[in-house]
Amino acid sequence: MVGGQPNVNRVVRLARRPASPPQVTTARLVRSFITTVVIVLVNLAMVAYFVTEARESSLVQNEAASVVRTTPPSNPPAPVATSTTDQPVASPVTEVPPTSVDTTTVPPVIEAPRTTLPTTVPPTPSPVSSRIAARALSPALPNPTTNIVPSPNFLSACDSAAYDDSPKCLWTVLAAIDNARSSSGLPTMVLPTNWTSLTPAEQVFVATNLERTVRGLAPLSAMASALDVAAAEGAEAGVDPAVPPGFPWSKYGSNWAGALGNPLEAMYYWMYDDGLGSPNVDCSISDPGGCWEHRQDVLLPLGCDPCVAGAASGVTGQGLASLAELIVDTQGAPATDFTWAQEEGYLS
């Protein structure tokens, strides 16, 4: 204070009143109202736009769905006819484990054209000088009236260039043999339990006896060592083997087959597919004398005092598997290397 009096001006400055609120005029209210109305109109326009868009989109989708539901399905393409001659269908293989096999099959050759029949006179008295004459004196069982084509076709399951005893080949050939036998009312072929341990030559011998005995013929008693050598020569040369000089015989038959890797394949063709139209090249309409000749050899009636055989497998000069057998009615006791008696214990 000055002179004892308070400083009124300072107090007034320090104790200032709050400022008065601004005055709201009519013009300002009008502007605010217009602004609000504009905003509301804009929002309404946007809402209407989006609603219209959504409705049009829904209509398009409904129309598309309607087209899908109502349009009938197009007709499926017609099947294309194929010629079975252009695309042969392989015969089915039943119950045979798959293996890797060359599907290129070589047609089997069951008989080489005959040239000169054996003329060696046996040391024992006999008027027979040829195998054909021998058969004429002792007729075999009746020949089939028709061939039975292998079913299933084992040619696509077995090798043609080498011995093939694979499960697929073996069981396919057996199925074909059983099918062929059924047409004659014969039972199925049952192989001995030691089959896979036999040599190919021994398998030819055993298979021959299985075909003989199932028809009531006497089995061949043994494989003669001298006949095995002759059969091996025939297999290598690709011809029917002949009885070697000095070996006594009264009747004999001989068979050869090529491009077949399993002995059962050869046995099938010899027994069931050996007539006109078969792989037997020695059988024709002009010369039917060779038809079913292999079957007649396998089933040759024999006196068996004893009756023996020779068998062999090999490869021809053309690189094909080759099998040959000799069936001989003889006398005495020729040297043998395998007998039917020792094999019978493995037959069920």
CA atoms of 266 and 108, how far apart (whole Å): 9
Identify the CA nearest to 344 among candidates 231, 224, 185, 205: 205
- Contacts of 330 by beta carbon, 8 Å cutoff, 6+ apart: 224, 247, 248, 249, 250, 305, 306, 307, 308
Three-state DSSP class for 225?
Answer: helix
Q: pLDDT digit string (tens) for 149-162? A: 999 999 999 999 99
The number of distinct structural domains making up the chain is 1
Please state the pTM of the whole predicted model.
0.65
In a domain, 276, yes or no: yes
Assigned token pair, 205: 């011998």
CA atoms of 313 and 263, how far apart (whole Å): 9
What average pLDDT does range 32-38 have in this prediction? 74
In a domain, 90, yes or no: no
In a domain, 310, yes or no: yes
In a domain, 59, yes or no: no
Cβ pair 232, 314 in contact under 8 A: yes
In a domain, 91, yes or no: no
Burial of 187: CB neighbours in 10 Å, binned 0-12, 13-18, 19+? exposed
Residue 290: CATH number of its domain? 3.40.33
Identify the CA nearest to 131 among candidates 115, 119, 142: 119
Range scoring the smallest mean pLDDT among 55-64, 102-111, 177-186: 55-64
In a domain, 17, yes or no: no
Distances (CA, A) of 336 to 226, 228, 245, 269, 277: 8, 9, 17, 27, 38
Domain membership of residue 161 as a residue range: 131-139+147-344
CA atoms of 212 and 196, how far apart (whole Å): 21
**DSSP structural state of residue 87:** S
In a domain, 243, yes or no: yes
Q: pLDDT digit string (tens) for 113-171? A: 443 333 333 433 322 223 333 433 344 588 999 999 999 999 999 999 999 999 999 99
Dihedral Cα 254, 299, 343, 184, nearest 10 deg:
130
Cβ pair 249, 309 in contact under 8 A: no
Q: pLDDT digit string (tens) for 314-348? A: 998 888 899 999 999 999 999 999 999 999 999 97
